[in-house]
Structures are given as C-alpha cells and as structure tokens.
C-alpha cells in the first residue's frame, strides 16, 4: 500500500530495530540480515511491476520505488529495507543523461571525455529540486513499512560515480577513468569534490526524508590500488562521513549509522575502519577472521557470503551460513552477501539464506 503521501513527521514506531542495534554495536538476540539488491529482478513480482516502465522512470516514481522496496519484505523476514533507486541518479542530478540499455546496462549518452567537459556539469546542485523524487520515495516507504524494519538510504561514492561518468557505462579495466587520475589529477579532484558535495547533501536529505541508516557504495574500489585509493577515494569517503554527521547535527536530524562498502578493497580495510563509519561492508573475497583482525572490535562488520552460494542446494546454504556466523561471531555483525543478488537466483534460496542466519545465530547466542 504505497498510496497517500503523509508528512515526513509522525512515522510509525519501529518494531524491529535489530539491524540498527547491530550497526551501533549493541547486543542483539539474533544476527540481523538483509541483501544488497534485495529489491530486484530475481523476484517475478519485481519484473511484473517494472515490465512496462523505463528503468529511470521507475526510479522517479515514488509509488513504484515504494512497491519495489516492500516486495522482498512480503516474502522474507529481512531485518532492513533498502530504498529502490540507483547510484546513477547523482550524475543525472549533475546534468548528465543516462539511459538503461537492455542487455548492456546503464549507458551515458555523452560521457566525459576531456577536462573541458567538466564545465557542462551543474556546479551547484539543488538536491531537493533534482533528487526530490528519491526523498518522496523514502518518506512514502517509511510510512508504508509501518515500522516493520528500518529503511536504508544510499549513494554511490565519488570515485565509483566518476568512473561511470567517464567510461560511459560498465568496464572491465576502467582504463579511461583511471587515465584521468594519472593524466589529470587536478581535474579529477575537482570532479570528485563536486560529486562529494552533492552526495553529502543527498544523504542528509535522505535522513530528513526518513532514512534510518545510510550506505555508501564504492563498488569500483577494486580497480584502484592502494596508492590511487589513498589519493582519490579515501579522502572523499572520510569527508562524506564527517560532513554528513556534522550537517545532521546542525539540522537537528537523527545521527543514523553509516555503512561503507568498498568492493575488493582489502588493502584499505584498516583505513576504512577509521573513516568515520559505524559499519564496514565486506565482499566475499576476504576471510571473516582477517577482516575482523584488521578492522578491530569497535566497528560492525557486514557481509560477506558469496552471492553465488545461493545457487547451492538449500541445506548447503544453511551450512555455509553457519560457518560464516561462526567466523564473524553473532554480535557487532550484520549478515549480508558479499555483493548484490543476481537476476537468475531462486527466491526460495534467498529465503533459505535469511532463515538460516536467524536460526543459526539464535542457536549460537543461546549456547
């Protein structure tokens, strides 16, 4: 029921705060679990809702975003919802055109080629004017959730967005975007700064609209080595956490937990642990014990089952989850996949994953 847009105030009382408690490092009876891309094409009802609509038109419809966000929660006892949107709405807010090409994915009609192209971008972005549809979707969804679970808002991180804006879409090497870092370091920093400023306002706006946690996706961290990450990704990741928190305080908004997910950035885990986020998300290529050793006890970990493990038979999924929980421990931990769900996954296997996390973590906590 995603009708009726009420005022952002007077949200329903939260009934299940397990995810928020784990994010803040408080004790939980079971380990909370949610999945990246839980609102997605692996659900037949998602494909049905999306069938007639252009992808970004769907992103701009608060009603449809709300419906798609709620779909997985009708099926599975997940501990959090994440608003249905896309990281590329930020480049759109800067004035770039992005279209979703079937079989190819998101494509920029005019990617950034030369440093001069930066002048075509909006230098001052009014996020309410450009991204207000996301804020409306968050407010509507927060009411429609009826306090069932917390709602997560998100953004792409500057380097990941920059790489899309220069590559014009996905890329296996990111050679065009990385060449900017080597050839045009000043212009790269100018672009990253512009993105960071928009992201800060965007994330604060999401909290004002009703988001109860925020995740920053540095999905393309794996294309950078330690040096480039230090120079072109980490400073902005740190800055975003700091600036969002100080703006939330200034505007008397709730200080929500923040999650940083830098895919394939093992080399930076210690830095990420001190970047100002309550939670560090992990991909599936790192051992839980190693991550904990590098990150320490003061930050909650999130992750990191190989998404492809969901192709295994259900019993096997249960065994893998049990092993993962034993390795991470059930406290200061949020179970998730190490990346998003894939479109051809069986929803029943997603259910088996969620239920296994709850059952095994309860069992471990009792004994």
What's the mean pLDDT in 116-127?
98
pLDDT at 49: 95
Q: For residue 230, what is the enclosing H or E element?
A: helix 226-232
In this predicted model, what pLDDT tens digit does every residue of 194-237 receive, in sequence order? Answer: 999 999 999 999 999 999 999 999 999 999 999 999 999 999 99
Give yes or no for residue 131 having a pLDDT over 80.
Answer: yes
292 as an active site residue: the answer is no
Taking the C-alpha atoms of residue 230 and residue 173, their distance in angstroms, rounded to an integer, is 19
pLDDT at 266: 95
Structure tokens at 263: 């895919």
Hey, what domains does the chain have and what are their CATH numbers?
Answer: 36-281 (3.20.20.210)
pLDDT band at 102 (very low <50, low <70, confident <90, very high): confident
Taking the C-alpha atoms of residue 71 and residue 83, their distance in angstroms, rounded to an integer, is 11
Of 69, 105, 104, 74, whose CA–CA distance to 84 is shortest? 69
Give me the helices (H) in 119-184, please. 127-144, 158-167, 175-183
Which backbone phi and psi does 161 adopt, to 5 degrees?
Answer: -70, -40
- Specify the higher pLDDT residue, 314 or 3: 314
54 as an active site residue: the answer is no
Q: For residue 291, what is the enclosing H or E element?
A: helix 288-295
311 as an active site residue: the answer is no
Q: Are 85 and 206 in contact (CB under 8 A)?
A: no
Packed helices 288-295 and 314-328: angle between N→C axes, nearest 10 degrees: 30
What does 310-354 look like in DSSP terms, one character per residue? GGS-HHHHHHHHHHHHHHH-SSSEEEEESSPPPTT--HHHHHHHH
pLDDT at 169: 97
pLDDT band at 3 (very low <50, low <70, confident <90, very high): low
Q: Are 109 and 99 in contact (CB under 8 A)?
A: yes
pLDDT at 6: 53
To the question of pTM greater than 0.95 for the whole model, the response is yes
Taking the C-alpha atoms of residue 295 and residue 290, their distance in angstroms, rounded to an integer, is 9
Q: For residue 126, what are the contacts with CB-CB under 8 A and spacing of at least 6?
A: none
pLDDT band at 75 (very low <50, low <70, confident <90, very high): very high
41 as an active site residue: the answer is yes
Pick the catalytic residue from 21, 37, 238, 292: 37
What's the mean pLDDT in 44-66?
95
Taking the C-alpha atoms of residue 29 and residue 110, their distance in angstroms, rounded to an integer, is 50
Q: Are 310 and 345 in contact (CB under 8 A)?
A: yes
> Residue written as tokens 């069932």?
148
Q: For residue 74, what are the contacts with CB-CB under 8 A and spacing of at least 6?
A: none
Structure tokens at 297: 């006890």
Pick the catalytic residue from 21, 60, 164, 277: 164
Give yes or no for residue 349 having a pLDDT over 90.
Answer: yes
Pick the catalytic residue from 24, 41, 190, 193: 41
In this predicted model, what pLDDT tens digit does every residue of 89-100 receive, in sequence order? Answer: 999 999 999 999
183 as an active site residue: the answer is no
Percent of the chain past pLDDT 90, that is, above it, reads 96
Pick the catalytic residue from 24, 86, 133, 193: 86
Percent of the chain past pLDDT 70, that is, above it, reads 98
Pick the catalytic residue from 17, 21, 42, 50: 50
Q: What is the helix, strand, coil percentage profile of the chain, to 5?
A: 50, 10, 35
Q: CA of 327: how far to CAs of 133, 176, 335, in Å?
A: 41, 39, 12
Q: Are 308 and 274 in contact (CB under 8 A)?
A: no
Packed helices 185-209 and 234-250: angle between N→C axes, nearest 10 degrees: 30
In this predicted model, what pLDDT tens digit does every residue of 233-277 receive, in sequence order? Answer: 999 999 999 999 999 999 999 999 999 999 999 999 999 999 999
């Amino acid at each position: 029921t995603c009708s009726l847009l009420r005022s952002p105030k007077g949200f329903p009382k939260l009934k299940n705060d397990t995810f928020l408690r784990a994010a803040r490092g408080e004790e939980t009876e079971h380990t909370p679990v949610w999945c990246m891309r839980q609102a997605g094409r692996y659900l037949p009802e998602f494909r049905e809702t999306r069938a007639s609509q252009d992808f970004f038109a769907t992103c701009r419809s608060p009603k449809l975003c709300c419906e798609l966000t709620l779909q997985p929660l009708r099926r599975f006892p997940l501990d959090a919802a994440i608003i249905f949107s896309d990281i590329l709405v930020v480049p759109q807010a800067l004035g770039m055109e992005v279209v979703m090409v079937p079989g190819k994915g998101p494509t920029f009609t005019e990617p950034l080629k030369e440093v001069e192209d930066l002048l075509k971008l909006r230098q001052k972005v009014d996020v309410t004017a450009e991204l207000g549809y996301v804020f409306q979707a968050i407010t509507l969804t927060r009411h429609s959730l009826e306090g069932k679970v917390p709602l997560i808002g998100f953004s792409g991180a500057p380097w990941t967005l920059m790489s899309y804006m220069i590559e014009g879409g996905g890329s296996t090497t990111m050679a065009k975007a990385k060449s900017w870092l080597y050839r045009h370091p000043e212009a790269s920093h100018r672009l990253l700064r512009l993105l960071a400023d928009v992201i800060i306002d965007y994330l604060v706006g999401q909290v004002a609209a009703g988001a109860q946690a925020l995740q920053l996706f540095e999905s393309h961290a794996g294309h950078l080595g330690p040096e480039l990450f230090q120079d072109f990704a980490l400073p902005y990741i740190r800055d975003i956490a700091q600036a969002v928190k100080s703006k939330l305080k200034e505007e008397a908004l709730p200080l929500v937990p923040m999650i940083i997910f830098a895919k394939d950035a093992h080399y930076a885990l210690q830095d990420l642990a001190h970047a100002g986020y309550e939670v560090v998300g992990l991909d599936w290529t790192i051992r839980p014990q190693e991550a904990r050793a590098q990150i320490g006890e003061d930050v909650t970990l999130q992750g990191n089952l190989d998404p492809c493990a969901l192709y295994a038979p259900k019993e096997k999924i249960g065994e893998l989850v049990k092993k993962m929980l034993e390795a991470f421990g059930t406290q200061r931990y949020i179970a998730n996949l190490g990346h998003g769900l894939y479109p051809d996954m069986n929803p029943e296997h997603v259910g088996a994953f969620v239920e296994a996390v709850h059952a095994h973590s309860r069992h471990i906590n009792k004994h």
